[in-house]
Amino acid sequence: MSIKDALKLKSHQTKTASGLDILIRRPSTLDLLAAMEESKDRPNTFGAWLVFNHLIDENGRVFLSIEEVLQCDVALVEEVAREVEKLYGEGKN
């Protein structure tokens, strides 16, 4: 992960642990604030929120709502959410 890409909020192409290719929109400062509120107010659906808010394709967001994400395979949602979470800590080291 490049600090330059992080600062420019360049989308991040990666693979999940199971080998799924995904494209993630990097989090902005506003995303960080929203994530803090979301994790505090709705901890049970925070992973789904991360996927809804950050998983993208060439047309934009992959999902239209958090409810749509909640209809997906739980293990896969958690796997994608873990990849998104990594970007929230980008540049700390």
CA distance 46 to 43: 5
CA dihedral 35, 22, 73, 61 (to 10 degrees): 60
CA distance 23 to 38: 22
CATH number of the domain located at residue range(s) 3-88 in this protein: 3.30.2220
User: Where along the chain do its domains lie?
Assistant: 3-88
| Residue-wise pLDDT tens digits, 35-55 | 999 999 999 999 999 999 999
pTM for the full model?
Answer: 0.91
Give the model's pLDDT for residue 1: 61
